[in-house]
A and B are shown apart, each in its own frame.
Chain A
Amino acid sequence: MYSLDEASIMKKNQLEIKNLTLFRGNRCLFKDLSFAINNGEVVIVKGDNGSGKTSLLRAVAGLIEPDHGCVYWNKKDITNIRQLYHQNMVWLSHKHGFKGQLNIEENLYYESGLREGFSNSFDETFEKLSLTSIKHQPFNTLSAGQKMRASIARLILSKASLCLLDEPTSNLDTKGRDFVNFWINYHINNGGMCILATHQSSPIKSSIKEIVLS
């Protein structure tokens, strides 16, 4: 099993979203949305396609400036403590952010420069995600499911306490899906936090808050 020996996960953290309002064009995606998430909690964001799940995650990550409201990490506005916040946060989306011509190992080697404490145990993680046989293959030759597995490898290796996951189980086979669900449960039980945007009902056993966007 795992050894998440990362102190930052154990440290008490809180993410608070206050009165978040976001417009896309003239359409209001959500208005005055507030919630908080503490260690060991999961927030599941549900909604139809185009209801603003990804936009909400992007706003929480700090990629989009919301029209109104703020995101606070440990009571501090994230726009003032970007580096500290991003050190504790990892993002997973359908755009994997890996270079197509480079292989998984080269891509992850680059990622390890982007944050402190990025794990070196590449091989161990590849083994768990059945990526070992394809780790030297260029990323754009991989299948959609394999690409998602590579993204999940980054998630695990980054050892961040807050995970923002946009459809983490899309394109995965049953084994892969089981592993992701197992990992999220494991992460939460170790004091991590997750915000999960998904269509599927998720078998996460821990304390769950649900947000439904319409």
Chain B
Amino acid sequence: MNSFKELSMWNGFKKMLYRDLLHSTKNLSQLMNPLLLFILISASFPFAINIDENQLMIIGPGVIWVIAILSFLLTLNNLYKDDMEDGSLDYMLLSAQPLPVLTFAKILAHWFLSGLPLVILCPFVSVFYQLSIDVSMLLSLTLLIGTLALSLIGSIGASLTISSQNNTTLLSLLVLPITIPILIFGAKTVVLYQNGHTSLTGLYLIGAYCMFALSFSPFVSAASLRIGSD
């Protein structure tokens, strides 16, 4: 019974998740930089453009989504790069666990510490754009699903670019086009809701996109990590 417990993929998944969360919480500046960027840009935007309350409410969701995606892209670079540099990627590749299980744990840890904080900050940032509570809650919900999809898609980009030296720009170029659908549906859902339409269609679409990414992202990331470590 004991040996079965040790064998389990859950054990590997759990410990990978725990290590990445622990590692990130000890690396606070790396964690805080994108979040601060998100807050600062979102907060300064309404001051820079001189428009009235109604117009601010209309552009608000779109602007918050764009800033969220851009600050999120900054965090993707660290997903596998650190592991590559200190050699723990080699040990990950040489583990007896299936690699997709470990990459999925890494993706989830990344989302917990990069996506989830954005979602939590969103209602506070919405205040600058005069968004009502229900609108800002819906915005947070779209961000919740959207950032998870971004983590999954971004993991593929990050794993494909680990072997290149200066990969931040390349990674953004690679990932940004694939994230455009999430941006369109995410922002549009909130705008439609503001205009009195249903928000369900948009939520279903981002949800479907997220599930689609979930179905292949860990496997593709694992495969490209193997190739990239060469």
Contact = CB atoms under 8 A, between A and B. Distances in A.
Interface residues of B, number: 31
Interface in A99-151: 99-102, 106-107, 109-118, 138
A117 B6 contact: yes
Nearest to A118: B6
Interface in B77-124: 86-98, 102
Contact of A102 (B13, B23, B87, B98): B23
B11 interface: yes
B33 interface: no
A98 B97 contact: no
A89 B12 CA distance: 17
Contact of B88 (A65, A84, A99, A109): A99
Contacts of B102: 114
A114 B87 contact: no
Nearest to B3: A116
Contacts of A101: 23, 26-27
A96 interface: yes
B19 A91 contact: no
Chain A contact residues, majority secondary structure = loop
Contacts of A113: 11-16, 97
B96 A95 contact: no
Given A97-B87, A98-B88, A83 B98 contact: yes
A84 B88 CA distance: 20
A93 to B, nearest CB: 7
A62 interface: yes
Contacts of A110: 15-16, 18-19
B94 A87 contact: no
B7 interface: yes
Nearest to B229: A63
Given A91-B94, A106-B19, 14 more contacts: A62-B94, A63-B94, A63-B229, A83-B96, A87-B96, A91-B90, A96-B86, A97-B86, A97-B90, A101-B27, A102-B23, A113-B14, A114-B91, A118-B6
